[in-house]
Amino acid sequence: MPQEIKNLKRLSFLARVLNPDFWQTLIWWQFAGRAPQILALDAGINPFCPEPIRPQRSHDEIGGLDQAWHQLRIVRRAKSHDCCGPICTGFYNADLAQVFDICIRGGGIVGRTLALLLARERLRVALVEQAQRLPGSDLSVSGDVRAYALNARSRTLLESLRCWPDAESATEVLAMEVKGDDGGAVNFSATELKVPGLTWIVDVPALEARLAEAVRFQPLIELMTTAPTAALTVICEGRSSSTRAEFGIDFDVTPYPQTAIAARLQCEKPHAQTAFQWFIQDEILAFLPIDGSDGKSVAIVWSVLRERVPALLAQSAQDFCQQLEAASHEQLGKLELTSSRSAWPLQSAHATRWVGRHAQGAWALAGDAAHNVHPLAGQGLNLGLSDVAALADTLGQREYWRSVDDEKLLRRYERSRKSEVAVMDATMDALQRLFSQHSASWQAVRNWGMNGFERSGVLKLWVARQAMGC
């Protein structure tokens, strides 16, 4: 290996360890008395050009040693010229001048979280979102009536980005009561499991607002409406991703016969930070406590057969609430509808490949663009956040000679996530199918199973810990 490259490797590594900030690295290198061509290599620009030096790519973002060596040879050739003009032309390296390391398509919760994680790794990110949903515009916060159950792992991740909402928008769940359709019951309690909270019910618009604000103030993230070229494109466009289709990525979809209706209710009785769930043949109803510890409000997710949906959405608020009171056995007393009702067709889906290469560069999938699971255990976004945590970790921890579009690196990410998602999807699917069986014998089996699970001790503890992300 040529001596210059050896030196370059050492300096790059040392500079990265000492201080990864570009300008400081530049200054440090000047102190180290490096030749100007090495400075140029780091900056990706011509040191002889009279134009003021602007950062293009920092030392740890140069796309691999080959590229660096190629650049070094160009610099050497350029040095033999006398005037600046031709040197500038000969110097330009389109790859190095490319502004973004990573383009994220889709600025939902998963996309925004990934952008913040990558910016923390000092990667330059283009975040592409539909114009009306860009942070700062009127619809940057969706007005979604849902509230998500987020586990401890998701909470830690969002807290590390300072995006975890205030306590009144993230209600801690202390107990969970799950009831079958023939006397079966499973209960979880934070005290029994020796954890502060089983999960947190997070107001979706509040979380979106926190992420939008953080993105707006992060200088390494640029918000855009059209996708620029970048070494790596991460597709976070949700279940109906058009880029996934454009790149020809297979997405296996199995629709469920149910659609979920989401809404918010004011209850007669306080929820006491307890989440309730009723499995009723073909239907699943969940009451998720919101509005903090003293609240009387719940967000509901009611999975019903899709034929029933038009009538349930069209009927008066009073009739709708009466149906919910009956389905919930008036657990929280009289109910009052406080939001609009929205409907979400349900499906199980997964992409056959999570990473690959396209004419425009490497790509990776994350969040709902990669997988959809039944929301009965509130795990979809938790999985999506684990995807982006794993991807950011893989890219951040990469060996210094690997670029962000390195195939081995991306496969590492795919391997680290695919199995967990497959297990979760299979579990949700099996539960959904078990509770869709109509015969009396199946009904007896599932309720017997629930009671057996309730008494199972270690198994129950293990399942609870998986769901809690511990």
Give the binding site for ligand FAD (CB under 6 A): 105-111, 128-130, 133, 146, 148-149, 236-238, 241-243, 260, 262, 301, 344, 367-369, 375, 378-382, 384
Copy the structure tokens of residue 352.
Answer: 């056959």
Contacts of 420 (CB under 8 A, 6+ apart): 383, 386
d(CA 62, CA 12): 10
Nearer to ligand FAD, 237 or 406 (CB): 237
Classify residue 428 as left (phi > 0), alpha (psi -120 to 50) or beta.
Answer: alpha
CB of 13 to ligand FAD, least distance (A): 36
CB of 131 to ligand FAD, least distance (A): 9
CB of 280 to ligand FAD, least distance (A): 17
Nearer to ligand FAD, 348 or 443 (CB): 348
CB of 263 to ligand FAD, least distance (A): 10
CB of 47 to ligand FAD, least distance (A): 39
Helix (H, G, I), strand (E, B) or coil at 464: helix
Bridge-partner residues for 251, per DSSP? Answer: 351
d(CA 164, CA 359): 38
CB of 125 to ligand FAD, least distance (A): 14
Nearer to ligand FAD, 58 or 379 (CB): 379
Copy the structure tokens of residue 281.
Answer: 């043949």
Nearer to ligand FAD, 40 or 261 (CB): 261
Report phi then psi at 53, rounded to 5.
Answer: -70, 125
Nearer to ligand FAD, 46 or 233 (CB): 233
Give the DSSP letter of residue 308. G
Nearer to ligand FAD, 344 or 442 (CB): 344
Q: What is the Cα 111 distance to its own chain's centre?
A: 6
Helical pair 36-43 and 64-79, crossing angle rounded to 10 deg: 130
CB of 401 to ligand FAD, least distance (A): 31
Nearer to ligand FAD, 40 or 141 (CB): 141
Nearer to ligand FAD, 241 or 274 (CB): 241
Bridge-partner residues for 275, per DSSP? Answer: 176
Nearer to ligand FAD, 87 or 260 (CB): 260
CB of 262 to ligand FAD, least distance (A): 5
Q: What is the DSSP annotation of 314-335?
A: HS-HHHHHHHHHHHTTTTT-SE
Copy the structure tokens of residue 150.
Answer: 């987020």
Type of residue found at 438? H
Type of residue found at 9? K
CB of 237 to ligand FAD, least distance (A): 4
Q: What is the DSSP annotation of 75-141?
A: HHHHHT-SSHHHHHHHH--HHHH---SEEEE--SHHHHHHHHHHHHTT--EEEE--GGGSTTSTTSS
Nearer to ligand FAD, 98 or 379 (CB): 379
d(CA 203, CA 298): 11
Q: Is 240 exposed, middle or buried (0-12, 13-18, 19+ CB in 10 A)?
A: exposed
Closest CA to 96 of 45, 39, 22: 45
CB of 419 to ligand FAD, least distance (A): 18
